[in-house]
Amino acid sequence: MEQKNGLVIKSTGSRYTVLSDDGTTIVCQIRGKIRLKGIKSTNPVSVGDRVVYDDDGMGEGVISAIQERKNYIIRKATNLSKESHIIAANVDQAVLIVTINYPMTSRVFVDRFIAASEAYSIPVTIIFNKTDRYDAKHLDILKEWRTLYESIGYKTLAVSAKKQENLSEVEALLKDKISVLSGHSGVGKSTLINRIEPALNLKTAEISAIHQSGKHTTTFAEMHPLSFGGYIIDTPGIRGFGLIHIEKEELYHYFKEIFEFAKDCRFNNCTHYSEPGCSVKAAVENGDIAYSRYESYLSILLNRNDKYR
Ligand SMILES: Nc1nc2c(ncn2[C@@H]2O[C@H](COP(=O)(O)OP(=O)(O)O)[C@@H](O)[C@H]2O)c(=O)[nH]1
Ligand SMILES: [Mg+2]
Ligand SMILES: [Zn+2]
The whole-model pTM stands at 0.89
Domains in the chain, number? 3
- Residue 191 Cα to ligand 2 midpoint, Å, equals 7
Q: In whole angstroms, what is the distance from residue 259 CA to residue 261 CA?
A: 6
Residues 184 and 57 in one domain: no
Give helix 167-174 / helix 189-196 axis angle, nearest 10°. Answer: 80
Q: Which pLDDT does position 247 carry in this prediction? A: 83
Q: Measuring from atom 7 of ligand 1, which residue has the nearest CA?
A: 188
Residues 179 and 259 in one domain: no
81 occurs within a structural domain: no
Describe the strand order of the beta sheet including 231-234 as a list of residue ranges: 155-158, 124-128, 93-98, 178-182, 231-234, 223-225
Q: In whole angstroms, what is the distance from residue 243 CA to residue 199 CA?
A: 34
168 occurs within a structural domain: yes
22 lines ligand 1 (CB under 6 A): no
Residue pLDDT, tens place only, 116-132: 899 989 999 999 999 99
Please, are residues 55 and 61 in contact by the beta-carbon 8 Å criterion? yes
Instruction: To the nearest 10°, report the CA torsion of 146, 150, 154, 160.
Output: 30
Residues 144 and 170 in one domain: yes
Which residues are placed with Cβ below 5 angstroms of ligand 2, an ion?
189-190
- Residue 280 Cα to ligand 3 midpoint, Å, equals 5
Q: For residue 288, give the CATH number of its domain.
A: 1.10.40.50
Residues 218 and 123 in one domain: yes
Name the nearest CA neighbour of 177 among 125, 226, 221: 226
Instruction: To the nearest 10°, report the CA torsion of 210, 213, 217, 219.
Output: 30
Name the nearest CA neighbour of 160 among 107, 92, 102, 200: 102
100 occurs within a structural domain: yes
76 lines ligand 1 (CB under 6 A): no
309 occurs within a structural domain: no
Residues 160 and 219 in one domain: yes
Give the position, in ligand 1's atom list, of the atom nearest the Cα of 193: 15
195 lines ligand 1 (CB under 6 A): no
Range(s) of the domain holding residue 257: 248-302
74 occurs within a structural domain: no
Q: In a structure prediction context, what are the per-residue pLDDT tens digits for the chain, which is 309 residues long?
A: 789 999 999 988 789 999 999 999 999 999 777 666 666 677 889 999 999 999 988 889 999 999 999 998 887 766 666 677 888 999 999 999 999 999 999 999 999 999 989 998 999 999 999 999 999 999 999 999 999 999 999 999 999 999 999 999 999 999 999 999 999 889 999 999 999 999 888 777 654 444 444 444 446 678 999 999 999 997 755 554 555 667 888 999 999 999 999 999 999 999 999 999 999 999 999 999 999 999 999 998 997 544 444
Residues 98 and 25 in one domain: no
Give the position, in ligand 1's atom list, of the atom nearest the Cα of 204: 16
Q: What angle do CA 66, 71, 75 make, to 5 degrees?
A: 95
Ligand nearest to the CA of 279: 3
7 occurs within a structural domain: yes
207 occurs within a structural domain: yes
Give the position, in ligand 1's atom list, of the atom nearest the Cα of 206: 23
Residues 91 and 227 in one domain: yes
190 lines ligand 1 (CB under 6 A): yes
Q: Measuring from atom 12 of ligand 1, which residue has the nearest CA?
A: 186
93 lines ligand 1 (CB under 6 A): no
Residues 255 and 156 in one domain: no
Residues 252 and 229 in one domain: no
Residue 15 phi, psi (nearest 5)? -125, 145
Residues 155 and 206 in one domain: yes
112 lines ligand 1 (CB under 6 A): no
204 lines ligand 1 (CB under 6 A): yes
Q: Residue 10 is inside which H or E element, if any?
A: strand 2-11
Please, are residues 69 and 86 in contact by the beta-carbon 8 Å criterion? no
133 lines ligand 1 (CB under 6 A): yes
Q: For residue 7, give the CATH number of its domain.
A: 2.40.50.140
Q: Give CA separation, 295 vs 111, 176, 267, in Å.
A: 10, 36, 21
Please, are residues 125 and 110 in contact by the beta-carbon 8 Å criterion? no
- Residue 203 Cα to ligand 2 midpoint, Å, equals 6
Residues 38 and 98 in one domain: no
Q: For residue 97, give the CATH number of its domain.
A: 3.40.50.300
Which residues are placed with Cβ below 5 angstroms of ligand 3, an ion?
265, 270, 272, 278, 280
Q: Residue 11 is inside which H or E element, if any?
A: strand 2-11
166 lines ligand 1 (CB under 6 A): no
308 occurs within a structural domain: no
Residues 227 and 257 in one domain: no
